[in-house]
Structure 1
């Protein structure tokens, strides 16, 4: 009887674990992302906090899970970062300012070689940003980084050098938010 009870408990626990949905700061985080021909799995997700306030939920999707930030940044495989805006304090100007700071930190202040690509990327954030908006930033092998806002394709930026610096905003040694980095890495 005891063995049957344990077996039943294990089956129930497995079913609930497999079907569990992750919700962070009120945002349902999907366990998979399929876009641009890429089928990616959730590596980890967390909240970008600034001045004790949640700004956005960031989720990292990869072809296969990894906790190695350097490998993820250097990889040429499919990968995506999804940002769900959860604060009304985020504006287009503030997002662009944060992007500038992120690239400075990610590249060790060596943004000059990427200036044209960074400027193109920032142009995808010029429209009004409001609470509830979401962005998907996806690396498509042999094509570049493609950006979507609320499911609408905004454009793309080519080059592995750009992808590495971009993903470094969240994963470099001086990330936008250390706790979010750890959450994205599944730590």
Structure 2
């Protein structure tokens, strides 16, 4: 009887391990479903600074690709998951990083996005702590829905906003080459 129980426990553990991947200290699922659309992990990487892991990021798409321009241009449901793994990521630092990211993504020309960027930054109004998980989900023809730990924070309309937001991680000047390459499945 003990052997049967051990086999069942081992099989359950194996099946749950197959559905996830470890990225540094974070665990990301291989699949996510948003608004009825199944997405698969395209790739994942770590945002590091001075040998400290700050957060793990995963890119979820309907079909895998290594082409960042195709991802940015696509009008299909997709998501970026950010799993905070360090206490060094604070509310203030996240807001600053997002602002800097939008500046780089738009070559300093955020005028058409300013109102929506401010609304998006408002999603970081609560403290950010280790193990928080943010999902930034572009819903086809709607816009970007943001979630923190599974709780919906709001919707930012516009494909142009999605383009600039995703460009923070996938553009020519990404938040980190390591996380960009990881999300594209290049490492």
Tell me if TM exceeds 0.5.
yes
Residue pairs, 1:69-80, within 5 angstroms: 69-80=68-79
Distance 1:149 1:38 in 2: 19
SS in 2 for 1:124: helix
User: In the alignment, is residue 124 of structure 1 matched against residue 130 of structure 2?
Assistant: no
Could you tell me which runs of 5 or more consecutive residues in structure 1 were left unpaired when the two chains were aligned: 1-14
Distance 2:18 2:148 in 1: 28
Distance 1:19 1:100 in 2: 36
Normalising by the residue count of structure 1, what TM-score does the alignment of the two structures yield? Answer: 0.88
Residue deviations 1:24-73, cap 9 Å, x none? Answer: 11222111011222210000001001122110000000010010001101
Distance 1:94 1:151 in 2: 22
Distance 1:147 1:37 in 2: 16
1:96 aligned residue: 95
Distance 2:36 2:19 in 1: 26
SS in 1 for 2:141: coil
Asked whether the 8 Å contact 1:38–1:140 carries over to 2, the reply is no
Residue pairs, 1:141-180, within 5 angstroms: 141-180=140-179
Distance 1:33 1:180 in 2: 19
Q: CA deviation at 1:114?
A: 0.5
Asked whether the 8 Å contact 2:73–2:163 carries over to 1, the reply is yes
Structure 1 range deviating more: 47-56 or 128-137: 47-56
Normalising by the residue count of structure 2, what TM-score does the alignment of the two structures yield? Answer: 0.88
RMSD: 1.6
Could you tell me which runs of 5 or more consecutive residues in structure 2 were left unpaired when the two chains were aligned: 1-13
1:83 aligned residue: 82
Residue deviations 1:137-185, cap 9 Å, x none? Answer: 0000111100000010000100011000000000000000011100100
Distance 2:72 2:102 in 1: 13
Q: Which runs of 4+ in 1 moved over 4 A?
A: none
Distance 1:87 1:26 in 2: 9
Distance 1:23 1:185 in 2: 16
Structure 1 range deviating more: 140-149 or 32-41: 32-41
Distance 1:45 1:76 in 2: 21
Q: CA deviation at 1:20?
A: 7.0
Asked whether the 8 Å contact 2:135–2:146 carries over to 1, the reply is yes
SS in 2 for 1:101: helix
Distance 1:76 1:88 in 2: 35
Asked whether the 8 Å contact 1:93–1:126 carries over to 2, the reply is no
